[in-house]
């Protein structure tokens, strides 16, 4: 809302929406929590479990099986992106007119915002974002702006129905490559549920040096490959290694988890894409065979 100049007359009402209805009932509810001295949902001398009750009621109102309350809309978007598994550097298409928190959420989730035009509804133009979709696109984030919902039908019709064939294609690629290289006796990452995976090609080598050599050979052949997290376990990350959260809670740093270090360090994951052609798949299989056997590739 634009701030009026200093000499403007006072507004006849404050467009505060929900806050405009704040009355004695809301004051009493807030005071009840304060007086309980249990300001956090999980602990305190007398937790009232108000957040739990709110989540249950909101879930019922929205017709959802569950709801999770967070601190802000920005936090909700960040949680959603991370919960959906956004890879680092993936792109998220957002409308050019939206609250800054939408972009902040993408950045906080280590994504890259891509901006699309709006239409006269002030929400995402359904015809203006399709050309922005690339193989790096992870999500489209329509924003419901100022009490008006964005038109979701075109968005759900471009991506949702494409998900099952995309997953089938990725799984087919993985199966094809593994079958093509079956004679090499390679050790693949075991998958508890083949049909529940998103398509995966991860090899387990004899040691870290073998994994590095394979990554180097595949990269030289134009095949995206790497060792997950560069072979570093989560507690070896500097943000975790200090053994203390930003708010001061400490924990005992674990010792060497040598089994996990060995498994992760000797793993090599090969990137797959749903848009890969049969020629791409054949090149991948040939490149893998050449890199593993040391034979010159074709």
Spans of the chain, pLDDT less than 50: 1-2, 13, 246-247, 298
Residue where a domain stops, chosen among 151, 184, 202: 151
Residue 58: its H or E element: helix 50-62
Q: Which domain holds residue 172?
A: 164-239+258-293
Check whether residue 120 and residue 210 sit in a common domain: no
pLDDT of residue 272: 84
CA–CA separation, 231 and 79 (whole Å): 26
Residue where a domain stops, chosen among 93, 123, 151: 151
Burial class (CB within 10 angstroms; exposed 0-12, middle 13-18, buried 19+) of 79: middle
CA–CA separation, 203 and 190 (whole Å): 9
Tell me, yes or no, whether 200 lies in a domain: yes
Tell me, yes or no, whether 245 lies in a domain: no
CATH number at residue 212: 3.90.1150.10
How many domains, the chain? 3
Q: DSSP string of 154-194?
A: HHHHHHGGGHHHHHHHHHHHHHHHHHHTGGGT--BPP-S-G
Check whether residue 77 and residue 179 sit in a common domain: no
């Amino acid at each position: 809302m634009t701030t009026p100049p200093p000499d403007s007359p006072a507004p006849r009402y404050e467009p505060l929406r929900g806050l405009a209805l704040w009355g004695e009932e809301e004051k009493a509810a807030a005071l009840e929590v304060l007086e309980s001295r249990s300001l956090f949902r999980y602990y305190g001398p007398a937790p009232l479990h108000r957040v739990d009750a709110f989540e249950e009621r909101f879930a019922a109102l929205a017709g959802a099986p569950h709801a999770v309350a967070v601190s802000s809309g920005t936090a909700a978007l960040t949680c959603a992106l991370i919960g959906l598994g956004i890879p680092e550097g993936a792109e998220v298409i957002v409308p050019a007119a939206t609250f800054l928190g939408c972009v902040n959420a993408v950045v906080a989730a280590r994504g890259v915002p891509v901006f699309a035009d709006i239409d006269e509804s002030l929400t995402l133009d359904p015809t203006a974002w399709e050309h922005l979709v690339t193989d790096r696109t992870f999500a489209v984030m329509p924003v419901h702006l100022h009490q008006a919902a964005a038109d979701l039908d075109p968005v759900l019709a471009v991506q949702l129905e494409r998900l099952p064939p995309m997953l089938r294609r990725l799984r087919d690629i993985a199966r094809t490559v593994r079958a093509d290289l079956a004679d090499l006796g390679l050790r693949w990452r075991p998958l508890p549920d083949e049909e529940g995976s998103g398509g995966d090609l991860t090899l387990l080598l004899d040691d870290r040096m073998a994994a590095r050599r394979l990554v180097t050979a595949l990269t030289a052949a134009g095949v995206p490959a790497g060792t997950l997290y560069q072979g570093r376990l989560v507690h070896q990350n500097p943000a975790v290694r200090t053994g203390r959260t930003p708010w001061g809670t400490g924990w005992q740093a674990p010792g060497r988890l040598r089994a996990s270090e060995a498994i992760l360090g000797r793993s090599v994951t090969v990137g797959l894409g749903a848009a890969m052609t049969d020629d791409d798949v054949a090149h991948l299989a040939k490149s893998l065979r050449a890199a593993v056997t040391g034979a010159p590739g074709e």
